[in-house]
Amino acid sequence: MSNSSSSEEEEEGDNIIAGNDSNRGEYEPPSPSRRMRSSAGDVRVWPEPFIEALAFQVAVDASDSIGRFAVAPALFNLFLVCSTWREVSRSELLWKNLTRHVWNRHHLLQPHHTWREEYVFRHRTHRNFRTRRHSYSTLHFNDNVEDDDDEENVLSCRRLALSDRHLAAGFSDGSVRLFHLQSRIHLYTFLPNHRDLLGRFSCAVSGIILSEIRLVFASHDGDIHVAPIDNSVAARRARYGDALNDGVLVDFSGSNRWWVGLYAGVPGRAFHVWDAESEELVFVGGTLTDSESVMGWNLLTELTNFVGRVRVTNHGLAIACTSHRVMVFDLGNLGFIVAEEAPRRGVLVGSVDSNGESMVLVDRRGMGRVRVPGTLEEACRFVVRGAAAGRMVVGCMNMGFVVMCIEGRWSVWEAENGGYLYDLRERIGAASVMSVMSVDECHVAAWSSGDWSRIHLWDFGER
C-alpha cells in the first residue's frame, strides 16, 4: 500500500472512531468483493457480543503487531462489513477495553467523556506528539524571591511531576509549587516543616509523587511530606529522615501502592521502601550506591548532577541506576533482584526514565536504548548526538515517545521503534530537570537554569 493511501485510510479510520463520518452520507454497504464471507451464514446475524469480541481482538492484534495507529484503520475495515457490524462501534464497553489496552488508560480525563471520546482524545494526542503539533507556554513562579540578581536567593527547580490536571515543581528550598495545567495558574505553594539543617540544600526536593488526590514530596535529608492536592490542610511530615544513619535521599519515586527512596552515603542502605497506604517502612537494603557515597553527601551543600534515579513500573518493579549499574527489583518480593547490569560504557543518569511499561537510558557514547524492565531486553535503540562529548543529557518518556535534551536541543523519538521524529522548535537553554507526564501523555514540562523564573510547558492535547 502506498503512503498516500495508507494515510487516507488512517484519516478515514480517525473519522470512523470519532463518529465524524457525516461527509459519507447514508451508509452504503461495501461491494461483494470487499464483503467478508462466513461458512456459518450471513455475517449480519452474528451475535453482537461475538462481533464486539472480534473487533477487540482485531484492534489488539493491530496494536501489538504494527502499532497504536494501526487500530483505527483496522476497525474502519471491520465496521465496513455491514451496518449491523458498524453498530458495534457505539459500544462503550468496547471502547473502554480498547482504551485500557491500547493507551493504558483506566479512567476518564473528564467525567462527561464517553469511552469512545476518551479513545479518540488519546489517539489524536498521540498523533499530535508524532507530528509536532502542540502549543507552548510558560508558568511563572517568581513569588517569594526578592532579588533576581542575587544568586543566593535564586530558586533552583529540582523535580517536576505531572498528573491529568496539575503540574508540581519542587525547588531547592524544599517548597513545592502546584500549577493548574489548563489555566496555567499557580495555585498553591506547599512548604515543608523546617528543622535543623545538615547543609544548605538538605531540604531540597529530591522527588515528587503526584495524583489528583494528594501530593507526596521528599527532600535530601530524608523527610517525606504529604498534603492534599486542594491544600485544605498544611503539608504534614509523614516520615522523619535520618541522614546520618541512612545517607542522603538522592531520588524518590512511587505509586499509589509504594514509595521508593534511593539513598547514597551509607553502605548497604541504598533502598528504602514504604507502603504508600500505611506509610510504614517495609524494607531497607541494597549496595547500588555504595560507590557514590561522596557524591551523595555533596548534594547537601551543592546542587550537582544526578547521582542516581529510581522509578516504579506498573507491574510492581523498581528500576534504579547510577552511572555504573542498572538494577531492577521486585517490590512484591522485597530484596529479590529481577535483573542487573553494569553497562560497559556507563549510563548518563539524567537520561534514565520509565513510562511504567518500559524504560529508557543513554550511555556515555550517546547510544539510547528502550528496554523491557523485567529482563533488561532491548526493544529498540537510537543515537543522541552530542552526548559522547560529555554534555549533560536530560531525558524522559511516555507511552509512545522519548524526549531528550542536550544543551537546549530537544529531540523526540518513537519509543516503539527508535525512529527519530523531530526537534522541538523552542530552544530554552540547557535543561536542568525535565519530566514527561506518565498519566495523560499530553505534556512535556521543563526548567532551565538559564531561565530560572519560569517553567516551560508543551501541550500536545487534542485540538
pLDDT attached to residue 153: 56
Q: Cβ neighbours of residue 22 under 8 Å, at least 6 residues apart?
A: none
Q: How far is CA 104 from CA 201, 314, 319, in A?
A: 37, 10, 20
Total Cβ atoms within 10 A of residue 304? 12
CB–CB of 215/176 below 8 Å? yes
Kindly report, residue by residue over 203-250, the tens digit of the pLDDT. Answer: 999 999 999 999 999 999 999 999 999 998 999 999 999 999 999 999
The continuous run of DSSP H or E covering 411 comes out as strand 409-414
Please report the sign of the dihedral spanned by the C-alpha atoms of residue 401, residue 350, residue 253, residue 368.
positive
Q: In angstroms, rounded to a whole number, what is the distance separating the alpha carbons of residues 220 and 368?
A: 29
| β-bridge mates for residue 264, sequence order | 248
Greatest Cα pair distance in the chain: 81
Q: Cβ neighbours of residue 392 under 8 Å, at least 6 residues apart?
A: 305, 348, 350, 406, 407, 430
CB–CB of 151/135 below 8 Å? no
pLDDT attached to residue 437: 39
Residue 246 φ/ψ, nearest 5 degrees: -105, -25
Cell numbers given for 246: 541512612
The continuous run of DSSP H or E covering 268 comes out as none
CB–CB of 313/371 below 8 Å? no
| β-bridge mates for residue 171, sequence order | 157
Kindly report, residue by residue over 11-26, the tens digit of the pLDDT. Answer: 545 555 554 443 333 3
CB–CB of 277/259 below 8 Å? no
Fold (topology level) of 132-459: Methylamine Dehydrogenase; Chain H (2.130.10)
Cell numbers given for 261: 527512596
Q: What are the DSSP calls for 332-363, one per residue? A: SSTT-EEEEE--TT-EEEEEEEE-SS-EEEEE
Q: In angstroms, rounded to a whole number, what is the distance separating the alpha carbons of residues 270 and 287?
A: 6
Cell numbers given for 429: 537553554
Q: In angstroms, rounded to a whole number, what is the distance separating the alpha carbons of residues 6 and 14?
A: 12
Kindly report, residue by residue over 36-76, the tens digit of the pLDDT. Answer: 444 444 555 556 777 888 889 999 999 988 888 889 889 98
Total Cβ atoms within 10 A of residue 414? 18
Domain boundaries, the chain: 3-130, 132-459
Please report the sign of the dihedral spanned by the C-alpha atoms of residue 247, residue 223, residue 158, residue 214.
positive
> pLDDT digit of tens for each residue in the chain (463 aa)?
444 444 544 554 555 555 444 333 333 333 433 344 444 445 555 567 778 888 899 999 999 888 888 898 899 888 887 777 788 888 899 999 999 999 988 888 877 889 999 999 999 999 999 999 999 999 987 655 444 445 555 688 899 999 989 999 999 999 999 999 999 999 999 999 877 678 899 999 999 999 999 999 999 999 999 999 999 899 999 999 999 999 999 999 999 999 999 999 999 999 999 999 999 999 999 999 999 999 999 999 998 778 999 999 999 999 999 999 999 999 999 989 999 999 999 999 999 999 999 999 999 999 999 999 999 999 999 999 988 888 888 899 999 999 998 877 889 999 999 999 999 888 776 555 554 434 458 999 988 776 667 888 999 987 6
| β-bridge mates for residue 209, sequence order | 216
Q: Is 388 helix (H, G, I), strand (E, B) or coil?
A: helix
Residue 85 φ/ψ, nearest 5 degrees: -70, -35
Q: In angstroms, rounded to a whole number, what is the distance separating the alpha carbons of residues 253 and 356?
A: 12
> How many CA atoms are closer than 13 Å to the CA of 226, on its beta-carbon side?
11
The continuous run of DSSP H or E covering 59 comes out as helix 48-65
Beginning with the edge strand found earlier in the chain, give each strand of the sheet holding 236-239 in spatial order.
205-210, 214-219, 224-228, 236-239
Q: How far is CA 84 from CA 1, 78, 81, 198, in A?
A: 28, 11, 8, 70
User: For 279, which DSSP code?
Assistant: -
User: For 75, which DSSP code?
Assistant: H
Reported pTM: 0.86
